[in-house]
Amino acid sequence: MIRVGVFGAGGRMGAEVCRAVAAAPDMDLVAAVDPALAGRPLAEVAGLPGSDLVIAGDGEALAGGKAEVAVDFTVAASALENVRWCLGHGVHAVVGTTGISPDDLESVLEPSGGEGHVFFAPWLAKTCPRSLQPRPEIKYRPDPVRTVILRTIERLRRSRKE
């Protein structure tokens, strides 16, 4: 099981990611972070009946849940801090947040020295091999967010073996 934490869990996309991860047979949702909603039950906020997770206010919830991967759907400034935290704690990050400039990205990645890897989804078409590029038919799939997350996690898993 891949242990996953979500930054921005109370937002529209973050809640969707929480539902997708919770539904995946090979993933375990171990932490949900959203400072604006800290203390509220994830079941109520994200519509996840049966979840006993409480939304946390910071990334330490990922450490407590021993997350291996973090998905970030926050705002640019928060995403950069979250990525710094992930890299410093050896947690792989998948970032769907937009508005991060290439200079900001470089400032986060260069000094990290950590063990985590980062996948920035907003630049998917420009930075990834053709096999990862978005396809027009994605809108016809029943759950595109889950599909992207599962493929990304599988690629991270394969990169560990190389």
**CATH number, residue 110:** 3.40.50.720
Residue range of the domain that includes 93: 2-161
Residue (of 139, 87, 143, 97) closest to 117 by Cα position: 87
Q: What pLDDT shows up at residue 124?
A: 41
- Mean pLDDT, to the nearest integer, of 48-66? 94
* 120 band by pLDDT with thresholds 50, 70 and 90: confident
pTM assigned to the model = 0.74
Residue (of 88, 86, 42, 46) closest to 68 by Cα position: 86
* 28 band by pLDDT with thresholds 50, 70 and 90: very high
Q: Which one is predicted more confidently, 161 or 27?
A: 27
pLDDT reading at 6 higher than 60: yes
Q: What is the pLDDT of residues 59-74, one digit of tens each?
A: 999 999 999 999 999 9
Report the domain count for the chain: 1
d(CA 136, CA 153): 21
Q: What is the pLDDT of residues 69-96, one digit of tens each?
A: 999 999 988 999 999 999 889 899 999 8
